[in-house]
Amino acid sequence: MINRRHGQVMVHLADLDPQFHARPMALWSDGTRVEVLTEAGVFHPELTPSTELHLPPGAAQVFDAFVHLSRNALERIEDVDRGLAELEKDPLHAPPLKVMELKRKVASVREELGRGITALADLSERRLLPVPEVAVGPFRSVEQELLRLREMTSSTQLSLSDLFLIRQTEQANQLQIMANRMTAVSNRIAELANISNIRMLGLSYVTLILSVVATVILFPNTAATILGMPSAANIDPIIVWMVLVGSATAPIAWFVSQKWIRDLFKGMVRYEARVEEGMTDLPERLPEVEGDYSESRRSSAEGPVAKPRNSALPPKGP
C-alpha cells in the first residue's frame, strides 16, 4: 500500500520473524531523502549490497530494503522446506495439523512477497521515489528475484498439497480394504445362512414324512389295541380285519383329498432339484468329479502294476 500526502510518500512493506509473524516496514520519502522505518525506528540492514553497485543514497536505501525483503523471504521458505523434508520421510503418517501449519506459513511468505512485488512495480512505474537511471537494472534484478521466490512458494504449496493427497489415498485404500473384508464376512454369513436353511429344509422334509407315517399308523394301531383286549375276543375276525383296513386307509384317503398336500407332492421334483443345487454348498459334501473318482484314487494309491518277468517270452507251443 502506498500513501501520498503533502509531497511525502510512504510505501508499506513487511518482513517475517522466525515465528512467521509480520513485522511492519515502510519506505518514507519527502522527495529529497529516503528512510526505511520500522516499529523500532529507522531500519539499518545488516547487508548493504548497494555499496558495491555505487548507488546514490536514496536509491541505495530503497534497494537495500527490497534486498532485505527477498532474503528474509528466502530464509522463511528454507524453514518451511526443512519442515517439509521431515514430513516427506514418512508421508503416510504426516500429521495434518503440521501440514496445515506449513501451508499457513507459506501463505504468509507469499503474501509478503506479493506486497513487495506490487510496491516495487508501483515505484518503477510512477517514479514515486528518487530512483536514478543507473539503479533501474539492479531494481529489475530484485524484482526478478522476488518473482522467483514467489514461484518457489507455489512449488512448496503443491508439495504440501501432495502430502494431503497421499494421506487421503492411503486412507481411501484402507477403507477399501476394510470394505472388502466386510464384504467377505457378509458373503460368509450368507453362505452359512444358506447352509443352515438347507439343513432346516431337510429336517422339515424328514419331519413331514414322519408325521404322515405316524398319522397313518396311529389309527390302525389304536384300533388293534382296542380289538386286542380280552373283551373283544368274540368279535368276528372279518369285522376286525375290516376295521383295521378302514382305519389305515381312511387317513391316507384324507391326506390325498387335501389340495395343499397334493400340490406339495406335485412340486416334489422341483423342490428336490433346488435342494440338490443347495446341497453342493454343504462343507461335508465332496464335489463330484467326472469319471470314477474312487477307481482313479485307488489306482493312484496302488501305483503302477509290475509286469511278470516272463511277459516278454513268446508263448509256448502245444
Highest mean pLDDT among 68-82, 86-100, 254-268: 68-82
pLDDT of residue 184: 93
The answer to whether the beta carbons of residues 56 and 63 sit under 8 Å apart is no
CA atoms within 13 A on the CB side of 157: 13
Q: Does 65 have pLDDT greater than 90?
A: no
Mean of pLDDT values over 83-97:
86
Picking from 50-54, 87-91, 112-116, 168-172, which range would have the lowest pLDDT averaged per residue? 50-54
Q: What span, in angstroms and rounded, lies between the C-alpha atoms of 211 and 310?
A: 67
Give percent above pLDDT 90 in the chain: 12
pLDDT of residue 207: 84
Q: Does 101 have pLDDT greater than 50?
A: yes
Chain segment 106-118, per-residue pLDDT in tens: 999 998 888 888 8
pLDDT of residue 131: 57
Q: Per this entry, what is the length of the chain?
A: 318
Chain segment 212-269, per-residue pLDDT in tens: 788 778 888 888 887 777 777 777 778 888 888 888 888 888 877 878 777 877 777 7
Nearest by Cα to 220 from 246, 255, 238: 246
Domains plus CATH for the chain?
Answer: 2-179 (1.20.58)
The overall average pLDDT reported for the chain is 77
The answer to whether the beta carbons of residues 91 and 100 sit under 8 Å apart is no
Picking from 109-113, 184-188, 290-294, which range would have the lowest pLDDT averaged per residue? 290-294
Mean of pLDDT values over 74-80:
91
Between 225 and 315, the more confident residue is: 225
Chain segment 25-55, per-residue pLDDT in tens: 887 777 667 777 877 777 666 667 767 777 7
pLDDT of residue 293: 40
Give percent above pLDDT 70 in the chain: 75
Strand pairing partners for 13? 25
Q: Does 145 have pLDDT greater than 70?
A: yes
What angle, rounded to 10 degrees, do the helices at 96-126 and 136-227 form? 150
